Amino acid sequence: MVLVVTPEFSCRTNATNNEEAAAKAAAVDADTGAPTIFSCRTNATNNEEAAAKAAAVDADTGAPTIFDKIIAKEIPASIVYEDEKVLAFRDITPQAPVHVLVIPKLRDGLTQLGKAEPGHVEILGQLLHAAKLVAEKEGILDGFRVVINSGPSACQSVYHLHLHVLGGRQMKWPPG
């Protein structure tokens, strides 16, 4: 499942899809809450892959994901916004001039949006509102995109729910 919230719709273009195999690989530990990053991106960096390997060490133990380590300030991140429940930081492999990830500080079973329960409604709303605050702070309120990759078919690579806030350039549609 892919959730895309975007203020623009007239930007259709051809999309390529060469990410399915990598996404299926990412599904292996999807339900374990394990820390995983898989290379769905054709332009994945060594940093991303190294972080993935480090995060995967405790894949089946329920140990902190790489995002938990960012929350705990165990690894550095460029923090854009923070409140009691939410943390937003710049993506290490930006896909747009502005590319910020918005995450719940408490994972609480939300390894992916597909695991959302009624009890998660409040935090889900807070995450969306935080995405708007990030867009405002980054000066992209005139046009930005919010993406949630949920599950292997959507090429999710980190199993701690996160919203991608993208902007600062003209977005295309479909997203691929």
Q: Which residues are identified as catalytic?
A: 162
Place of tokens 């133990």: 61
- Which region, judged by CB under 6 A, interacts with ligand AMP, from 14-22, 86-94, 120-128, 137-145? 86-94
Site for ligand AMP in 98-117 (CB under 6 A): 101
When asked if residue 37 is in the footprint of ligand AMP (CB under 6 A), the reply is yes
Sketch the per residue contact string, 140 through 169, with ligand AMP: x for CB under 6 A, - otherwise.
---------x-----xxxx-----------
Q: Is 176 helix (H, G, I), strand (E, B) or coil?
A: coil
- Give phi and psi for 66, each to the nearest 5: -60, -30
Residue closer to ligand AMP, measured from CB, 96 or 142: 96
Q: Could you say which of 19, 68, 91, 138 contacts ligand AMP (CB under 6 A)?
A: 91
Are 40 and 147 in contact by the 8 Å Cβ rule? The answer is: no
Phi, psi of 71 (to 5 degrees): -60, -40
Residue 102 in contact with residue 131, Cβ under 8 Å?
yes
Torsion sign over Cα 11, 38, 154, 77: negative
Residues 44-73 that bind ligand AMP (CB under 6 A): 48, 51, 66
Q: For residue 123, state whether it binds ligand AMP (rule: CB under 6 A).
A: no
Among 30, 71, 92, 131, binds ligand AMP (CB under 6 A): 92
* Residue 75: CB minimum distance to ligand AMP, A: 6
Angle at 170 between CA 164 and CA 176, to 5 degrees: 55
Q: Are strands 79-82 and 86-90 parallel, antiparallel or unpaired?
A: antiparallel
Binding interface with ligand AMP (CB under 6 A): 37, 48, 51, 66, 75, 77, 89, 91-93, 101, 149, 155-158
